[in-house]
Amino acid sequence: MGNENHGSADKLVQAGAVHGGIHFYAEAAPQQKLLKVPGQLLAVSDHFVDRDPAVDVLNDLLDEPRVGRAGLAVISGASGIGKSALIAQWSHQVQQRFPDGQIVFDFERGERSLGDAAEHCLRSIGVEPEWIPPATGDKVAMLRTWTKDRRQLFIFENVAVLDHVLELVPASGASVVLCTSHQDGAELAADGAQPIRLTPLESEHAIDCLRREDLRERVDAEPEAAAELVARTGGFPIALNVMVGLLKTRTSWTIARAVQELSEKRRRRKHFRKAFAELDLAVEQLTRAEAQVYGLLGRVALALPVGAVAALADLTELDAEDHLEQLHRICLVEENDQEQFLLHDLVAEHAAETLGMSDVSSDDAVRRLVAWYRQQGAFADRAVMEPSRLRVVDDDLAGENPFTRERALEWLRSERVNLLGMVRLAAESGWHVDVIALCDGPLWALHNQDKHYSDTLAALVAAIASAVAIEDLVAEARMRSLRGHLLVECGELDEARAECAEAVAVAERAGHRRILASALEFQGKALHASGEFDAALGNFERARQLNEELGRQRGMALQEYLIGKSLSALGRHDEALQVLAEALDRIAGFPEDKRTPSRIRVAAARAHQALDQHDQAVSLLREAISATRERSSFDLAEPLELLADSLTALRRPGARECLEEALEIYEQAQSPKADRVRRKLSEG
């Protein structure tokens, strides 16, 4: 070869003699050779709606001052919830803030690695392939070097291992990293990540999603059908977009016809196959126990606390909590502010289908769930109301009551929807005693504190049907009496009197004196509300006699209270006050009964008002209000209204404030008495 070189050479050594090895050191890829400003943003949706809170979080992240570290947000949620659409919409709005480029990489749920992501980013910013080292750690290190102090937006889609994203975060305060994942981003919050968890669109926004230019007239022409269509999509953007496409293709279809299309399960599954396929992928990653919990939650379609889920799946609460935590982490299950776990509608449908493919007995599971609610409800009932009050189902409660009165009332309020759900599930399964026990126990206890007429009336109809089905006359009389009482409160007096009359007739046939006394009491209340005061008085006196025969002092006090009300209504106010005083003395023997003394004082105040003794009325009403504020909101309305009347009569201040508070209570309970208070306010 000689000592001459002909042609070009990348590395050349010219020497007379060489002793030892020769090492060539490659030049490091200089950052100044960066040739590309990538623009890889996803296309925006043609009709993006809502997501304002999430956009606000991203805007705050963009404007947040940072040094030496990019901003990071993790957008999570179920498949088809709109994670990518949110990122696309926002990134196009702010792309000018990232003059050094925008890079997008899809991890494909773990099919592609951290090394693949780092290499993609390096190539995107202009690093030649021969300069990229083979080892993942070296690739990541090079990426950090090349992105330091630059202004770039990185978008990582379908991240399976969230820790990988942390390694890709550049050391540049002007950059932002966004990622989508089926795992909740809260686990990265300690590392500075901003978690954003998306939920289905609210109805109004979902309808807006349907109202695209060429569909607007059809949607607006059928608002009820549009609302139903949205409900059947579960508010999932992926499902809504399917329906938009279908309506655009089937131009002759009405919105009602589209609803009909989704009513048939097989066709619904066909149209939403992409959404269900994504959920299938998520479920494949679950353990058998997790998949069982997922499926059972879909079976009942309710928001359940951990204890209820444990009963449903026949697990310890600790195991149930572990499984729920995992399901929540991968965005199959949501948790509300009542610490209850639920599935969104479309996910619940998918979950119920997966249960059908397992060997789990859903009937046994539902049976355990109903039994759990019946037991917890019975404890709560006895903590809120008099433990010895009339109940037609004798629940065998072992152990100490876990509830205080305050905690029991809190539980009843948070679990009201679930208690109604248990009535429905029990009725569907023919578990009639459970239906009756739930209505006569926790639901009635709650009604005495808060008023939810429509739901409770419907539950009592189911309870009457259950009592008839098992030919339980005692339970039938009780359930008819309770329903009659609610009808009185709703002002449906004709129906109330008919229901209460039937209750008395059934109680007479049953030959049960305590039930008969109760039925007579409720019938008396219906008669009193109808202005038939003499007839009502007769009922209450007969009921009092039955309670005396049974040796029930509290029952006697209650009837004396009602006798006093009827006497006052008949204009016999002095007699009424005498009887009410006896009732107040008698009920003093039951210190755990906090409600009845206040009701007696309110009745006595009415009698004093009729006698133009407003000072005495004001004193009694203030005492009643003070005691009632500690227990119940609804029971406050009547004494507040009466206090306003007496204050007005005495020309003292405060009447309007009392009426406004009473009106708020009546309106919240949807009570017809609200109209009367509104009139008083307008006249004042």
pLDDT in tens, 76-131: 998 889 899 999 999 999 999 999 999 999 999 888 999 999 999 999 998 888 99
Distance of alpha carbon 296 from alpha carbon 260, whole angstroms: 27
Phi, psi of 119 (to 5 degrees): -65, -40
Distance of alpha carbon 253 from alpha carbon 214, whole angstroms: 13
Q: Among residues 577, 564, 498, which one has the least CA distance to residue 530?
A: 498
Tokens of 598: 């206040």
Distance of alpha carbon 181 from alpha carbon 36, whole angstroms: 28
Other CB atoms within 10 A of residue 154 CB: 27
Q: Name the H helices within 511-572.
A: 513-529, 533-549, 553-569
**Residue 527 to residues 293, 348, 535, 660, Cα–Cα distance (Å):** 51, 47, 7, 30
The per-residue pLDDT for range 394-427, each reduced to its tens digit, is 888 888 999 999 999 999 999 999 999 999 999 9
Whether the pLDDT of residue 467 is over 60: the answer is yes
Coil, helix or strand for 447?
helix
Token look-up 């991203």 returns 58
Whether the pLDDT of residue 570 is over 80: the answer is yes
Q: Can you give the pLDDT at residue 395? A: 84
Q: Which of 356-365, 531-540, 646-655 has the lowest mean pLDDT?
A: 356-365
Q: Can you give the pLDDT at residue 7? A: 54
Reported as type and span, the H/E element at residue 103 is strand 102-106
Q: Which amino acid is at 90?
A: W
Tokens of 363: 């009937």
Tokens of 565: 């009300």
Kindly indicate the confidence band of residue 276, based on its pLDDT and cuts at 50, 70 and 90: confident
Chain centre distance of CA 165: 32
Strands 334-335 vs 71-76: parallel, antiparallel or unpaired = unpaired
Coil, helix or strand for 468?
helix
| DSSP secondary structure letter of residue 304 | B
Most confident of 31-45, 248-262, 477-491: 477-491
HSE-up of 397 (CA within 13 Å, CB side)? 22
% the chain with pLDDT above 70: 94
Distance of alpha carbon 71 from alpha carbon 652, whole angstroms: 62
Cβ atoms of 442 and 418 within 8 Å: the answer is: no
The per-residue pLDDT for range 611-654, each reduced to its tens digit, is 999 999 999 999 999 998 877 678 899 999 999 999 999 999 99
Mean pLDDT computed over 540-552: 96
Query: Which domains does the chain show, CATH number per domain?
Result: 32-197 (3.40.50.300), 203-271 (no CATH), 277-360 (1.10.10.10), 594-684 (1.25.40.10)
Q: Which amino acid is at 11?
A: K
Return mean pLDDT, the chain: 90
Q: Can you give the pLDDT at residue 25? A: 45
Mean pLDDT computed over 147-160: 92
Kindly indicate the confidence band of residue 33, based on its pLDDT and cuts at 50, 70 and 90: low
Coil, helix or strand for 154?
strand
Of residues 395 and 31, more confidently modeled: 395
Q: Among residues 616, 520, 615, which one has the least CA distance to residue 577?
A: 616
Kindly indicate the confidence band of residue 158, based on its pLDDT and cuts at 50, 70 and 90: very high
Q: Can you give the pLDDT at residue 1? A: 45
User: Quick one: residue 447, left, alpha or beta (phi over 0 = left, psi -120 to 50 = alpha)?
Assistant: alpha
Reported as type and span, the H/E element at residue 489 is helix 473-489
Cβ atoms of 274 and 115 within 8 Å: the answer is: no
Q: Can you give the pLDDT at residue 356? A: 67
% the chain with pLDDT above 90: 67
Reported as type and span, the H/E element at residue 75 is strand 71-76
Q: Can you give the pLDDT at residue 214? A: 80
Q: Which amino acid is at 407?
A: R
Distance of alpha carbon 507 from alpha carbon 516, whole angstroms: 5
User: Quick one: residue 569, left, alpha or beta (phi over 0 = left, psi -120 to 50 = alpha)?
Assistant: alpha
Cβ atoms of 509 and 473 within 8 Å: the answer is: yes
Q: Can you give the pLDDT at residue 373? A: 97
Distance of alpha carbon 675 from alpha carbon 329, whole angstroms: 49
Kindly indicate the confidence band of residue 345, based on its pLDDT and cuts at 50, 70 and 90: confident
Q: Which of 25-34, 141-150, 491-500 has the lowest mean pLDDT?
A: 25-34
Q: Can you give the pLDDT at residue 322? A: 96
First-to-last C-alpha distance (Å) of the chain: 117
Token look-up 């049907």 returns 465
Coil, helix or strand for 197?
strand
The per-residue pLDDT for range 44-80, each reduced to its tens digit, is 877 777 788 999 999 999 999 988 899 999 999 988 8
Strands 334-335 vs 341-342: parallel, antiparallel or unpaired = antiparallel
Token look-up 């990622």 returns 179
Q: Which of 101-105, 389-393, 407-411, 670-674 has the lowest mean pLDDT?
A: 670-674
Model-level pTM greater than 0.85? no
Burial of 526 (0-12, 13-18, 19+ CB in 10 A): buried
Kindly indicate the confidence band of residue 187, based on its pLDDT and cuts at 50, 70 and 90: confident
**Residue 293 to residues 282, 342, 363, 570, 620, Cα–Cα distance (Å):** 14, 11, 14, 61, 54
Q: Can you give the pLDDT at residue 32? A: 45
Q: Can you give the pLDDT at residue 17? A: 58
Chain centre distance of CA 435: 23
Burial of 524 (0-12, 13-18, 19+ CB in 10 A): buried
Tokens of 322: 């572990």
Whether the pLDDT of residue 21 is over 60: the answer is no
Coil, helix or strand for 15?
coil
